[in-house]
Chains A and B, each alone.
Chain A
Amino acid sequence: MEKQRVLVVDDDREIVNAIAINLQNEGYAVLKAYDGLQALDMISSQSVHLIILDVMMPKLDGLSTMLKVREEKNIPVIILSAKSEDTDKVLGLSMGADDYVTKPFNRMELMARVKSQLRRYLSLGDVNVQSRPNLLQSGGLCFDLESRTLMLDGDWVKLTAKETRIMELLMRSPGRIFPAEEIYERVWGETAYGVENTVMVHIRRIREKIEINPKEPKYLKVVWGIGYKIEKI
């Protein structure tokens, strides 16, 4: 099988180099670009499976480059930026990025995210999720109501019975915030009294299974002081 090709775009050559070495170690083919225009040239001339894109770049910035790419192709884009504020992340994701990694990044985390995006793009890209009504989906996360299983980027995630029921509950309404009591009452079927801790422990375990970086969850989020939700992606 042909090597999967990753395009790394950043105006800092050393960063591009370091990412490239890491990617090559993982067995990917790497293309390097140092500004947005160069990146667009490469995308139009060669087939690329994933783009790692810096935001603040000369000539054409990362977000504009991403919009240009999105006009034609559906290549997954991971934004790699020194801007670490929530507003920046929301902006990047809402403009069509598949993931957002802040600088300075952790090597392992970046590689995991690359792998996750590629797997989803290459294996699930052609599965039309909308056509299956009993499939709950949010980003790379899929819950099959028939088999009651959770898939992450096409991989089966091993969950306990309670965890499965929590995920089913949350995945049925992505974006809705569930208070801890409600989760407890609907999953355990008992009146909740001082049981937040039980729910929290379960949530944390699920997060460890489905999140690349549990400290900065992408899917299963804590809404502080209110409850929990599955991000609607």
Chain B
Amino acid sequence: MDTKLKKSKSFTAWLCFFLAVSIIGGLFITGLSALARFNGSVDALKAPFTDYKRSIAFKELTGNYFRELFDLVAYPSTDSRSKEWTKKYLDNEGENLLYYAVNKDSGLLVKNIEGDLPQISGAEMTPDLPAGYKYYWYFDGKKVWVIEDGQPVDVERLDSGYRGVIPREYADNTAELANSKVFMAVKDTLVKNPYGHSQYYMEQQFMRVLGWIYIALLVVGIALLIYAIIRRREKREFDRKLASWSGQIWLEVKMVLSLLALSLALTIYIDFSGVYGFAFEWVWGIFLVSCFTLVGLWWFYLMLVDLIFNGKSFFTHNSINSLLTWYRKYESRYSWQKSMLNRAYLLVAVEAVMALISVMFLLAAINGAGELALLAALLIAGAGIYLIYRYLKRYDETLSDLGKLMDHIELVKNGDMKTRLEVPADSNVYPAAQNLNSIQEGIGIAVAEKMKSERMKIDLITNVSHDLKTPLTSIISYVELLNREEGLPEHVNDYVKILSQKSERLKNIIQDLFDLSKANSDNIALDMEQLDLALLIKQTLADMEELINGSGLTFRLNIPDEPVYIVSDGKKLYRVWENLITNALKYSLSGTRVYIDLTADGESARAAIKNTANYEMNFSADEILQRFTRGDASRTSEGSGLGLPIAQSFTQICGGRFNIRIDGDLFKVELCFKQ
């Protein structure tokens, strides 16, 4: 409802504009035509507002009447039928027109005056006429006189309005006309003829009204124009609608219609500008000229609006483009690679046909078929070149879009989940781009979800670890206080000692558990730098020297003296080696040797620690890496049982590989790092 109202509003505004411009333009064209029609005499424009008898229309009509009379006397062969016809024609004016034409040589006489030709006396040339006839034309056998109020009018003056109106045939045959006389007088006050249609009277009435019609139209036109200017926004809206309608028309059709409109206006103008005759006729003629000119004007206005609102698409919406669009829709039925191939084949085929036709036209033109054939040849050749241009442009776009697609795949691979791939909707790779975008979005969501859950896991680990540590702190603190208490019975002291040991172990387990969970959550901060793995192993051994010395085991090192550089996190690797050595110390048969080997070949650094187990290893390598699995299966000894899993996790997050081999009583851990 609302939109309908709005629509009608915009249409009203536009209609006002249309009418205003049409009316004002029409008046303007009419005025211009009148000016041209009357040789630029401004009097032509004033005519409706002055005395009819001073107007050019009056002079022309009088001239027409006089010519009829004059023709009768000038051409002696004139038969009686034409004489009758002329008489009837003149008699339509009734008492508005008095005439008398005589050719004494042929004896022809036409008159509506009683008696003889009015005597024209001497220099004043005042004929003896009934009252009310002061204006007359008179041919005295030599020349045409126009007399007004007894004074001859200088008909040769440009501004007299008589140029082209006075018959001049007498100049060619003065001899035959010497005995001829033509007289015609017009009544001062033009009256209605009850016996016929007086042209004079009708034109007078018409001219009187015409002026007012003009003024009324002008006023209405200006009022409408002002309204349209006030409502220009709504008018513009309708312009846009017009543009959207006309935008659907092909450029070629528009061009043909434009040419048609132009030629129509011109033809009509040329046709009607030559019309001489009664005021009715030329007003009608001018009206038609105006109408057709206006139609042409409005057509070009529509084109202008189209151009302004549709911009580039004004030119691009043409038959070739529409054909291409249709073809694109058609080819979407085929697979991508097939449609690309088809396109190339089709182009070659079409180009061949067009070239053939073009050459044929060219040959025809050479053999004398004329310019039209040449034009056709050129047009077809132009269309062919345009097609090639379009194909290459499209090809270029497709290649660049493909490049974008590949770059984007690279981007997604590198973890950018935010940037979207923007490809025009009509691109050949648009569906692929859309798919890639949705894949990217999906991965992005999955990654975000994973990150969120990882963060929650870390929070959980941190909180649980804190919540475990706080009561444990109290336990350890109070056990320590108990430990310092003196005078307790011996067995209570034993109990306290057990409490002390177990709480210490609990502390280690909690810390290890925390470290392991964190390492497995992929959310651990790494401090990667280049370090010497050989040095690191030596440093760890030095750090644990006391433990090693007290273990009764011998360490056999096979470590190169030169540095073995790897990129890793030193602190984490220290934990790895600490755990591995502790493990070896704990589970080695006493008196045996522990071997630590390190080799590097420039590609990778391989380290191994071997020991002879002090128990039967009836488990697999995988099982030992299970959390809390311990070699001796009993859980009485110290340690969290997480030593190897932590070593494995830390090795892996530091970028290394971790392997366990069990061969009889030989327990071997192999580490491998990239160099």
Residues of A within 8 A of B (CB): 12, 14-15, 18-19, 21-22, 25, 56, 82-84, 86-87, 103-105, 107, 179-180, 193-194, 196-197, 200-201, 203-204, 222-227
Closest partner residue, chain A, to B531 (CB atom): A225
Knowing A196-B539, A200-B542 are in contact, say whether A226-B529 is a contact too (CB < 8 A): yes
Flag if B538 contacts A18 (CB, 8 Å). Answer: no
Flag if B469 contacts A104 (CB, 8 Å). Answer: yes
How distant is the Cα of A138 from the Cα of B478 in the complex, in angstroms? 35
Knowing A12-B474, A201-B545 are in contact, say whether A18-B481 is a contact too (CB < 8 A): yes
In the complex, per-residue mask of B184-200: 1 if CB is within 8 Å of any chain A CB, else 0: 00000000000000000
11 contacts between A and B (CB under 8 A): A12-B473, A12-B474, A83-B466, A105-B477, A179-B535, A200-B542, A200-B543, A204-B542, A204-B543, A224-B531, A226-B570
Flag if A225 contacts B533 (CB, 8 Å). Answer: yes
Q: Give the shortest distance, in Å, between B606 (CB) and chain A (any CB).
A: 16
Flag if A103 contacts B469 (CB, 8 Å). Answer: yes
Q: Which residues of A contact B514 (CB under 8 A)?
A: 84
Q: Which residues of A contact B543 (CB under 8 A)?
A: 200, 204, 222
Total contacting residues, chain B, CB less than 8 A: 38
Knowing A201-B545, A225-B531, A226-B570 are in contact, say whether A196-B473 is a contact too (CB < 8 A): no
- Residue from A14, A107, A179, A224 within 8 A of B571 (CB atoms): A224
Flag if A18 contacts B529 (CB, 8 Å). Answer: no
How distant is the Cα of A22 from the Cα of B532 in the complex, in angstroms? 44
Flag if A18 contacts B474 (CB, 8 Å). Answer: yes
Flag if A12 contacts B470 (CB, 8 Å). Answer: yes
- Residue from A12, A18, A203, A225 within 8 A of B536 (CB atoms): A225
Q: Is B628 an interface residue (CB 8 A)?
A: no
* 8 interchain residue pairs of minimum CB distance: A225-B531, A224-B570, A225-B536, A200-B542, A18-B477, A82-B469, A104-B473, A103-B473
Among residues 429 to 478 in chain B, which have CB atoms less than 8 Å away from a CB atom of chain A? Answer: 462, 465-466, 469-470, 472-478
Flag if A180 contacts B535 (CB, 8 Å). Answer: yes
Closest partner residue, chain B, to A14 (CB atom): B474
- Residue from A104, A222, A226 within 8 A of B472 (CB atoms): A104
How distant is the Cα of A103 from the Cα of B474 in the complex, in angstroms? 9
Q: Which residues of A contact B472 (CB under 8 A)?
A: 103-104
Q: Which residues of A contact B477 (CB under 8 A)?
A: 14-15, 18-19, 22, 104-105, 107
Flag if A22 contacts B474 (CB, 8 Å). Answer: no
Q: Give the shortest distance, in Å, between B327 (CB) and chain A (any CB).
A: 63
How distant is the Cα of A179 from the Cα of B507 in the complex, in angstroms? 34
Knowing A84-B511, A201-B545, A204-B543 are in contact, say whether A107-B470 is a contact too (CB < 8 A): no
How distant is the Cα of A22 from the Cα of B470 in the complex, in angstroms? 18
Q: Which residues of B contact A86 (CB under 8 A)?
A: 571
Knowing A83-B466, A225-B535, A226-B531 are in contact, say whether A197-B542 is a contact too (CB < 8 A): yes
Q: Does more than half of chain B's interface fall in helix, strand or loop, or is it mixed?
A: helix
Residues of B within 8 A of A (CB): 462, 465-466, 469-470, 472-478, 480-481, 484, 503, 507, 511, 514, 525, 529, 531-533, 535-536, 538-540, 542-543, 545, 561, 568, 570-571, 573-574
Chain B CB count within 10 A is highest, among A222, A224, A227, for: A224
Q: Give the shortest distance, in Å, between A21 (CB) and chain B (any CB).
A: 6
Flag if B571 contacts A18 (CB, 8 Å). Answer: no
Closest partner residue, chain A, to B569 (CB atom): A224
Q: Give the shortest distance, in Å, between B469 (CB) and chain A (any CB).
A: 4
Flag if A104 contacts B507 (CB, 8 Å). Answer: yes
Flag if B535 contacts A22 (CB, 8 Å). Answer: no
Q: Which residues of A contact B539 (CB under 8 A)?
A: 196, 200, 222, 224-225
- Residue from A82, A87, A194, A223 within 8 A of B465 (CB atoms): A82
Q: Which residues of A contact B476 (CB under 8 A)?
A: 104-105
Flag if B481 contacts A201 (CB, 8 Å). Answer: no
Flag if B466 contacts A14 (CB, 8 Å). Answer: no
How distant is the Cα of A203 from the Cα of B545 in the complex, in angstroms? 12
Given contacts A222-B543, A224-B540, 8 further A-B contacts (CB under 8 A): A19-B477, A82-B466, A84-B514, A104-B469, A107-B477, A180-B535, A193-B561, A226-B535
How distant is the Cα of A82 from the Cα of B532 in the complex, in angstroms? 33
How distant is the Cα of A18 from the Cα of B554 in the complex, in angstroms? 43
Knowing A15-B474, A21-B481 are in contact, say whether A200-B538 is a contact too (CB < 8 A): yes
Knowing A15-B470, A224-B531 are in contact, say whether A194-B561 is a contact too (CB < 8 A): yes
- Residue from A14, A82, A225 within 8 A of B570 (CB atoms): A225
How distant is the Cα of A188 from the Cα of B52 in the complex, in angstroms? 135
Closest partner residue, chain B, to A196 (CB atom): B538
Q: Which residues of B contact A201 (CB under 8 A)?
A: 542, 545
Q: Give the shortest distance, in Å, between A151 (CB) and chain B (any CB).
A: 26
Q: Which residues of A contact B545 (CB under 8 A)?
A: 201, 204
Closest partner residue, chain B, to A201 (CB atom): B542
Q: Give the shortest distance, in Å, between A190 (CB) and chain B (any CB).
A: 15
Q: Which residues of B contact A179 (CB under 8 A)?
A: 535
Closest partner residue, chain B, to A110 (CB atom): B477
Q: Give the shortest distance, in Å, between B594 (CB) and chain A (any CB).
A: 17
Flag if B473 contacts A223 (CB, 8 Å). Answer: no
Closest partner residue, chain B, to A107 (CB atom): B480
Closest partner residue, chain A, to B511 (CB atom): A84
How distant is the Cα of A179 from the Cα of B539 in the complex, in angstroms? 11
Q: Which residues of B contact A200 (CB under 8 A)?
A: 538-539, 542-543
